Amino acid sequence: MAKVQGKWMSHESEREKHAGTKGSFSRAARRAGYSTSEYAHMKEHAPGKMGKRARMAEMFAKARHHRG
């Protein structure tokens, strides 16, 4: 089951690269004067792409924490 989740996350990451939006959430956080994790926590319930990116940032942070 972990392989499927890892594969899903890598596909999502590749999709962001191809869309040309890699780093856009981090840039928005820096512009607002927050760290990426603080900004993701603030925007996790936002509608549209901003909310989706915030939830994805939190999910990737949790996955990175569990991997070690």
The residue type found at 20 is G
DSSP H or E run through 57: helix 48-67
Q: What is the pLDDT along the chain (68 residues), one digit of tens a residue?
A: 445 555 666 666 666 666 666 788 889 999 999 999 999 999 999 999 899 889 988 888 887 766 65
C-alpha span between 57 and 41 (Å, rounded): 9
DSSP state of 7: H
Instruction: Decide: 59 and 36 in contact? Cβ < 8 Å.
Output: no
Q: What's the distance, Cα to Cα, between the start and end of the chain in Å?
A: 18
The pTM assigned to this predicted structure is 0.66
C-alpha span between 12 and 28 (Å, rounded): 20
